[in-house]
Amino acid sequence: MTAVFVDARNVLRSQWPNLPEEELVERARAWAARHGRSIVLVFDGKAPGSLVGVQELDEGTTLVGCGGESADDWLIREVPRHPGGWLVTSDRALRAAAGRQTERVIGGGSFLRELDD
C-alpha cells in the first residue's frame, strides 16, 4: 500500500477559510480508503485530540503530533524511509529535502481538490 505523507498544517492553510483539522482527517481518511493508500497526517505541535506522538486511527490512517519537533523535520527524516510514497506539501524547501525518493509530490491545494475524487 502506497504511503501518503501529508504536511497537515500546510494543507489546512491552502484554502480560505482554513479547513478545520478534524475535517482534513476525515476527508483524507475516506480518500485513502477509496484509493487503497495509507495516509500519514503530520501536524506541527499537537494533532487533533491534543496528540503528541504517533497514533494509528485505523489500518490506513496515522496521525502524528510532532510536539517540539517541526513537522518538516519529522517528514525529512521519515519520508525517505518509505521510497515510492507520496509527499503532500506546498513548501518548496520540504519538497527538495524530503521529496527526492517519492513517487509523487503534490501541493496542499491540489491535494484538497483530490480529496473529493
pLDDT digits (tens, 9 = 90+) for 78-98: 999 988 999 999 999 999 998
Where are the domains positioned within the chain? Answer: 7-58
State the number of CA atoms in the 13 A half-sphere of 117 facing the CB: 10
Segment 37-46, tens digit of pLDDT: 999 999 999 9
Mean pLDDT of 13-32: 94
How long a stretch of residues is the chain?
A: 117
φ/ψ of residue 99, rounded to 5: -90, 0
**18, pLDDT greater than 80:** yes
**51, pLDDT greater than 80:** yes
Q: What is the pLDDT of residue 53?
A: 95
DSSP H helical ranges for 1-117 = 8-12, 21-35, 71-78, 92-98, 108-114
pTM over 0.85: yes
